Structure 1
Amino acid sequence: MPTLLGCSVAHIHARFKGERFRRVHPACVRVASNFCGKLHPVDWLVGRLQMSGFSDAVRVIEPGQTYVGKQGFTYGAGVSKETAGAKQVCLNVLPMPPGARAKVHYHKGIETIAYLLEGECAVYYGDKLEHRVAVKAEDQVYMPADVPHAPCNESGAPCKWLVVHSSGSDQDGIVLLPELDAMLSQRSSATA
């Protein structure tokens, strides 16, 4: 018989049968099962959200939607304010072909976390792009708010990122820095 943290699904269903919380999904009652049949406040809240219609806000974003960002790339659209009504977080996919480089930018007041799914990539950052980190598959990069940066695929092979921002859209708060683009282009051509 299936169990959730040692409590049978049948027991969980019986526990909530006939109560106003019966619409709580069995996976949401796992905390309650640890409290010897007492309804835990977290589960009560989940039940209230489901009964009040907030469960209608859940969205699945299927692959295939794309958009061109100010940073100069075609992104795979993920969860965002545009696709799911997100307000404080977004996640998108950034495929980068060999030799691709983002326009130098920063996100005003917005933090970024980027996870490199596959490949290798360099990220230049700093007020004058004076810093460079080499990133390999499965590495994560944290970029604080307001820090100029530009990922550059110098590896000769494609790479792919998952990018998360602390805003509903990755296009919120973007400030492009064309003067640093020129500096990075000069630096790249000098080392080529």
Structure 2
Amino acid sequence: MTMLKQPSGANSVAPSEGKAVVVRGGKAYRAEQGSDYLPGISSETVGAKALWLGIATMPPGRRTKAHVHARHETAFYMLSGDELEMWSGDELQFRDVVHPGDYLYIPANVLHVAVNRSSTPATFIGARNEPTAQESVVLFPEMDGRIP
């Protein structure tokens, strides 16, 4: 988990006391749905109340489990990789392809699966209005078989 860079000096104050905070990149973790996260700003790192910001990576040949984010919206910007398939909708019937330079928006409670069929990692900067590392993910294992 990312740790808050400790303030130093006589004028240092905690973030809750009105001071900006610099955060070092944190330790990566695999989310319940299967993507890899490198947190930056979160409730755990700086006491954020409504924001998570970090890096998300989908390794080559991998996919997420079918899931929704029950209480938050998510936004991504694809930094690198070849492409990523994003399947969404109640029956996972919609297929979009994300490329580097594209933005991706996932509303709350939208069922989705991300698939990286390429040989390179797909890397994103991501933000969501849920500040915790363990976000409001609800898995739908009965839908996993819908995506080839």
How many residue pairs are counted as aligned between the two chains?
132
Q: Which has the larger radius of gyration?
A: 1
Kept after mapping to 1: 8 A contact 2:78/2:123: yes
1:114 aligns with 2:71: no
Is the strand fraction higher in 1 or 2?
Answer: 2
| Ranges of 4+ aligned residues in structure 1 off by more than 4 Å | none
1:166 aligns with 2:136: no
Gaps of 5+ in 2: 1-15
Could you tell me how far 1:93 is from its partner in structure 2? 0.9
Distance in 1 separating the partners of 2:51 and 2:134: 12
The equivalent of 2:95 in structure 1 is 132
Q: Using structure 1 for the length normalisation, give the TM-score.
A: 0.64
Could you tell me how far 1:177 is from its partner in structure 2? 0.8
Gaps of 5+ in 1: 1-51
Q: Please list the CA deviations of residues 102-130 of structure 1 after superposition, one character each: whole Å capped at 9, or x if unmatched.
A: 11111113111011111121111111110
Distance in 1 separating the partners of 2:98 and 2:133: 21
What is the letter of the counterpart of residue 165 of structure 1?
A: R
Q: With a CA cutoff of 8 Å and minimum separation of 6, indicate the structure with the bigger relative contact order.
A: 2
Distance in 2 separating the partners of 1:68 and 1:161: 15
Could you tell me how far 1:170 is from its partner in structure 2? 5.0
The equivalent of 2:116 in structure 1 is 153
Q: Using structure 2 for the length normalisation, give the TM-score.
A: 0.81
What is the letter of the counterpart of residue 70 of structure 1?
A: E
1:89 aligns with 2:51: yes
Could you tell me how far 1:68 is from its partner in structure 2? 2.2
The equivalent of 1:175 in structure 2 is 138
Any idea what SS the aligned residue of 2:41 has?
A: coil
The equivalent of 1:98 in structure 2 is 60
The equivalent of 1:6 in structure 2 is none
Q: 1:138 to 1:132 in 2, by over 3 A?
A: same
Kept after mapping to 1: 8 A contact 2:26/2:40: no
What is the letter of the counterpart of residue 91 of structure 1?
A: L
Q: Please list the CA deviations of residues 57-81 of structure 1 after superposition, one character each: whole Å capped at 9, or x if unmatched.
A: x322222421221112331122111
